[in-house]
Structure 1
Amino acid sequence: MSTDAVEEARKRLTAAAEDLDTDGIAGLVLEYAQRSGVAPFWAQVCVPLLAALPGRDGTGIAVEHALSEGVRVGLDVHGRVPRRPYPPDGVLLAGAEQETHCLGLHALAAALREQGRGCLLLGPALPWVALAGAVYRTRPHTVVVWSQTPVTGRAYRLVRFSRDFPSVRVRAAGPGWIEPLPAPLDRFTSLIAAARAC
């Protein structure tokens, strides 16, 4: 995205968030994602905008929630084809157990759909036993587990999970994975890298 396009997108999304206009935000997300692609839009607009949100008072929290919800809805609609079945050997995305934030996974799912790749997003706070059950049922080639905070990004849980499924590529995503991950596990550090690797 050009500098002017980035600045314009940030201003328009900020104004919509301050108005608590989640539908307007979703529409803007669709517009810019279709125009520029999900990965550039996410990296250049969404991530800096979410990081620069106002303070944690009541108004600031409402603005943050409006922005997050609008972005989530826009990303979830982008590139979606109704009734397209989950393909065998696809990508399974889930938030780590007790992890309530996984907006980055919505961005990854949208980027994968944009590439014509099949994925299944199971949302936040998926217990490890439920994730294991989903892997048995869907047989993905890659599982991406999102953690936003170190409390939910426990490396030993990911290691144990990957040992239970040696034929599945298990990857960490999000800033919560701060402990070292042994090979062959690794952590995606950007949406572009994650979309390419999946």
Structure 2
Amino acid sequence: MDLSGDLLSKAPPEGGLTTGAVARLLGVAPTTLRSWDRRYGLGPAAREDGRHRRWTAADIAALRAMCRLTSAGLPPAEAARTVLAGEAPAPVAPGRASRAPVPLPAGRARRECRGLARAAARLDGRTMDELLTGALDRYGLPAAWDEVIMPVLHAVGRRWESAGERYIEVEHLLSWHVSGALRRVPAQPPSPSSGAGLSLLACVPGETHSLALEALAATLAHRGLPVSMFGAALPVEALVEAVRRTGPSAVVLWAQSPDTAAGATVDRVEAVEWGVRGARRRPAVLVAGPGWAGRRPPKTRHLSGLAHAVDVLATVPAR
């Protein structure tokens, strides 16, 4: 089901939407909307108190048409003339067709999903940064991840799978900007009073998909919980050495694909010991990611999502 269709069918609240709300809805920068108003007259029909912009359903419909035409390759001035005249759009020259809309799932996805998906399809990095930062500030990291970022990442991934390499640049750019937004989430100094031990996070050997693990690292750091993030495709020997040198209380191994989820890797990490003779210690090893479905080693705990992972790691005591 396409979430964008649901959003488009809902009328704005009485009095209209603000420029910021419309920008999030359509996936364009607020400065772009103001520029279209100033240059081409594509502005709100009414202004509250004669100053503040309030966009009605008709205004938003015109902006949607403007977005479709500019995404299809029409110059903004020509697209604006077409919208204001109520004309059908001119045919787009071969090779200039835009990407198809990214279908988004219904359910818990927020309205910002549609704007983020449109910005990704346009390869509009600046707008993606604005929308991602706004979602993280508004909802907090776990909710923004589950209800905004993940639905769009999944939708873009499905589009890439169905369209082949013609869509891979969208997924790569979106992933880069998501990663940057996660790194900008402020970290808090670890609090000894929490009692939580160090969590070491790493993708298993051969696994390059690290965004979910980056979200976990950013959430733990934001909450002042000790974390060490080693990222994608860490070789087994390097993983074992990292565990031995840092002495973590917990190790989280992420596998996106069943091809990379290997019980042998878990066994190697679980066997690592450190400390003096008679007081040797081992980490608690946990697995995360869809790759472990049906392949989880016996007695190894699986983290089922971001919130669950944070809750579990916050209770693993320092060792």
Fold equivalence (TM over 0.5): yes
Deviation at 1:23, TM superposition (A): 4.4
The 1:8/1:123 distance shift into structure 2, 3 A limit, reads same
The more displaced of 89-98 and 14-23 is: 14-23
Deviations 1:78-123 (A, max 9, x none): 1246xx69x9941111110011111100110111122111211111
Residue matched to 1:188: 303
Residue matched to 1:31: 134
Correspondences of 1:95-114 after superposition (within 5 Å): 95-114=203-222
Amino acid at match of 1:192: A
Residues 1:133 and 2:241 are matched in the alignment: yes
Deviation at 1:188, TM superposition (A): 0.8
Q: 2:170 aligns with which of 63, 67, 82?
A: 63
8 Å CA contact 1:22, 1:69 repeated in 2: no
Residues 1:40 and 2:155 are matched in the alignment: no
The 1:23/1:130 distance shift into structure 2, 3 A limit, reads farther
Residues 1:169 and 2:276 are matched in the alignment: no
Q: Distance in 2 between matches of 1:147 and 1:173?
A: 7
Q: Give ranges in structure 2 of 5+ residues lacking alignment.
A: 1-5, 8-24, 26-108, 274-280, 314-319
Q: Distance in 1 between matches of 2:243 and 2:301?
A: 19
8 Å CA contact 2:112, 2:148 repeated in 1: yes
Amino acid at match of 2:208: T
The 1:34/1:153 distance shift into structure 2, 3 A limit, reads same
Q: Distance in 2 between matches of 1:164 and 1:123?
A: 20
Amino acid at match of 1:182: P
Q: Distance in 1 between matches of 2:123 and 2:220?
A: 29
Secondary structure of 2:290 counterpart: coil
8 Å CA contact 1:24, 1:70 repeated in 2: no
Residues 1:144 and 2:247 are matched in the alignment: no
**RMSD of aligned alpha carbons:** 2.4
Deviation at 1:186, TM superposition (A): 1.1
Structure whose alpha-carbon radius of gyration is higher: 2
Deviation at 1:157, TM superposition (A): 2.1
Amino acid at match of 1:146: W
Amino acid at match of 1:160: R
Residue matched to 2:183: 76
Q: Distance in 1 between matches of 2:220 and 2:126?
A: 23
Q: Distance in 1 between matches of 2:134 and 2:265?
A: 38
Which structure has the higher relative contact order (CA within 8 Å, separation 6+)? 1
The 1:121/1:26 distance shift into structure 2, 3 A limit, reads farther
Secondary structure of 1:7 counterpart: coil
Q: Distance in 1 between matches of 2:171 and 2:231?
A: 19
8 Å CA contact 1:16, 1:25 repeated in 2: yes
Q: Alignment length, in residue pairs?
A: 192
Q: Distance in 2 between matches of 1:27 and 1:92?
A: 30
Q: Give ranges in structure 1 of 5+ residues lacking alignment.
A: none
Q: Distance in 2 between matches of 1:123 and 1:157?
A: 16
8 Å CA contact 1:27, 1:74 repeated in 2: no
Q: 2:153 aligns with which of 50, 55, 60?
A: 50
Residue matched to 2:60: none
Amino acid at match of 2:133: L
Q: Distance in 2 between matches of 1:96 and 1:197?
A: 20
